[in-house]
Amino acid sequence: MDFNSKDVEQGYDNLDYLYSRCSICFDETHDFCLTRCRDQFCKGCFQRYVREIVKSSWGLAIKEITCPVCNDALVGQEWKRYLDEKTIELYELYNQPHRAMSRYCGDCFIEIRIAQKPIKSSEERQFRFSEIYRLICNLFNEYKSKNKDSNCLARFQADFCNEFSGGGNGTKSILDIYTNIMIDVGKLVGVRCSDNGAFKEGAVLTLNPDLLQKVTLISTMFIPLETDEAKWKKLQFLHISNFPKVIGETPFHENLACTKYMKNIIARNEDTEKVANFKWKLENRCELDRTRSKIQLAEEKELLSTSPSKTKAFTELGVPNVFQIEEKFLK
């Protein structure tokens, strides 16, 4: 085979061109190389890539930022050099070591946390344990006639002493203590409970509201006592499984959704500016949601706006283009 010198030179030129280009779009000259794998990117493509990962990293597990070419995990100090503060703050918010499952009010999108973060202070932990013990004692005294096991409180007190006499390194984890007490509470209130502390599905919903509230509070107070990340996460899900209708904690309108809260205020017939505002919000909340969604869509378009070639390259990395779907939905 004959090689034309011009073809060889052109090939070298093409390689030189690629060596200087971004590994995502191949249009822009690269701005930096990653330290470990030496893959190279322009800032625009790399920033959009990381932002999409951050937007999808709101699960309960920590999401690593990886190289878009070789998938090597990137050290935080490295990728954060090329990102804005807002994206970094969002990543740290979404990827906390002990991230509580949360719900959002359907009307105002206020975050409602289902569980508290672990309590580290020894004094606070002892106080919390004492409060749990007091609540359990009150519950067992109230239903004394149904208590067939007189040793359950003694067992809990022994676990309590063991936990704190060992400096938080007792023979039983908080998850184990929770499991044991839930089994005892289940027997007391007539709810079947498995060996892992899980109530029979839907069983607690048959309890009267006052009793359900007391048992739910005991379960809720256990969660921040567990400091092991994996066990804390398991305890959180066990709590939600046992009490599926638990609302969680919010600084506003406690135990009520926004709509219900506003309706209650209006029902008081107080002729104030606050009531007038609530009435308007209730009458126009659908339009407000649509407007909010349109504003958010416009901001995302501006943030991710790019040339056609970049958009194509970016989509090939697994980033979905949902603008057309959202626009159709919002019409």
Q: What is the percentage of the chain residues whose pLDDT exceeds 90?
A: 8
In the 8-state DSSP scheme, what is residue 203? G
Q: Residue 102 is inside which H or E element, if any?
A: strand 102-104
Report pLDDT digits (tens) over 205-263: 778 888 888 888 888 889 888 888 888 888 888 888 888 776 555 545 555 666 676 67
24-28 average pLDDT score = 86
- φ and ψ at residue 20, rounded to 5 degrees: -100, 0
pLDDT score recorded for residue 329: 37
Q: Which of 99-108, 119-128, 266-275, 312-321 has the highest mean pLDDT?
A: 119-128
R_g of the chain computed on alpha carbons: 28
Dihedral sign for Cα atoms in the order 312, 314, 320, 321: negative
Residue 11 — very low, low, confident or very high, per pLDDT cuts 50/70/90?
Answer: very low
55-72 average pLDDT score = 83
Give bridge partners of residue 32 from the DSSP assignment.
41
Our CA angle for 277, 280, 286, nearest 5°, is 130
Whether 132 and 125 have beta carbons less than 8 Å apart is answered as no
86-115 average pLDDT score = 73
Quickly list DSSP for 27-81. Answer: SSBP-EE-TTT--EE-HHHHHHHHHHHHHT--SSSPPPPB-TTT-PBPPHHHHGG
Q: Which of 19-23, 171-175, 205-209, 309-313 has the highest mean pLDDT?
A: 19-23
pLDDT score recorded for residue 55: 86
151-174 average pLDDT score = 74
State the burial class of residue 313 (Cβ atoms within 10 Å of its Cβ: 0-12, 13-18, 19+).
buried
Per-residue pLDDT at 183 exceeds 80: yes
Largest CA distance in the chain: 100
**Nearest Cα to Cα of residue 223 among 203, 249, 245:** 249
Residue 278 — very low, low, confident or very high, per pLDDT cuts 50/70/90?
Answer: low
Residue 317, C-beta contacts closer than 8 angstroms, at least 6 positions apart: 24, 49, 68
**Nearest Cα to Cα of residue 305 among 44, 32, 87, 90:** 44
What is the reported pTM?
0.53
Q: Is pLDDT larger for residue 153 or for residue 85?
A: 85
Location of structure tokens 């090329």: 82
pLDDT score recorded for residue 7: 47
How many Å from the N-terminal Cα to the C-terminal Cα in the chain?
Answer: 61
**Nearest Cα to Cα of residue 188 among 204, 175, 176:** 204
**Nearest Cα to Cα of residue 42 among 61, 58, 25, 56:** 25
Our CA angle for 181, 187, 192, nearest 5°, is 100
